[in-house]
């Protein structure tokens, strides 16, 4: 399966999952950010990123151009048993641009301290639960692969691998660590 077809399948799966979560009564923290679609100026913003810090991984570009962003943070009053479900969240492209602007204002100092620009993908599982945590999930640039490793994420997989894994767990891969949870994963992921 090509990277493009995997991203297209992820897009469809997210749409189905969002519908099912809504039908089950899941309450999204930020409904307007749940699945807003691609930013209209995404191609220009990606070009700017690549001019400043190098090639952006193809998987991330495809995600931003075809899907945009997603935010499954929220809760259901009856679903229990997992303190950190690690909801699927991928920042919009605008967050990468904000981080780029911060990086560029202090570029020499950051590089001197061996802190290169990292492409922000999502908050870590603790920040998603509004608890102070660690480094956000990120990708290295310039790109080392079309679908590179997702840095600082606990599954040690690639970006697209993480998206697919998250969808296997109904958008909440942290449930894999919670054997006694009551989340209806099978109902939410049925084909």
Q: What's the pLDDT score for residue 153?
A: 92
Q: What's the pLDDT score for residue 63?
A: 98
Give dist(CA 189, CA 185) in Å, integer.
6
The residues, any chain, with a CB within 8 Å of residue 18's CB and separated by 6 or more, are: 34, 35, 72
Q: What's the pLDDT score for residue 191?
A: 80
Q: What's the pLDDT score for residue 40?
A: 97
Residues in the chain predicted with pLDDT less than 50, given as ranges, are none
What total number of domains does the chain contain?
1
Q: What's the pLDDT score for residue 45?
A: 98
Give dist(CA 75, CA 27) in Å, integer.
5
pTM for this one?
0.95
Could you tell me if 17 and 171 are in contact, meaning their C-beta atoms sit under 8 angstroms apart?
Answer: yes
Q: Which domain holds residue 22?
A: 3-189
Q: What's the pLDDT score for residue 133?
A: 80
């Amino acid at each position: 399966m090509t990277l493009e077809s995997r991203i297209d399948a992820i897009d469809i799966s997210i749409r189905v999952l969002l519908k099912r979560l809504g039908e089950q009564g899941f309450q999204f923290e930020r409904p307007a950010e749940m699945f807003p679609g691609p930013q209209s100026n995404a191609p220009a913003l990606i070009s700017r990123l690549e001019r400043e810090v190098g090639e952006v991984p193809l998987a991330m570009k495809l995600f931003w151009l075809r899907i945009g962003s997603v935010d499954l943070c929220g809760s259901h009053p009856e679903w229990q048993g997992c303190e950190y479900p690690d909801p699927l969240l991928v920042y919009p492209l605008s967050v990468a641009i904000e981080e780029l602007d911060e990086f560029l204002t202090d570029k020499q100092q950051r590089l001197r301290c061996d802190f290169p620009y990292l492409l922000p993908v999502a908050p870590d599982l603790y920040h998603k639960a509004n608890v102070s945590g660690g480094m956000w999930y990120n990708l290295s640039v310039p790109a080392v692969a079309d679908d590179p490793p997702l840095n600082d994420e606990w599954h040690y997989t690639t970006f697209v691998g993480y998206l697919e894994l998250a969808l296997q767990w109904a958008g909440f891969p942290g449930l894999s660590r919670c054997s006694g949870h009551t989340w209806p994963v099978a109902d939410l992921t049925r084909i």
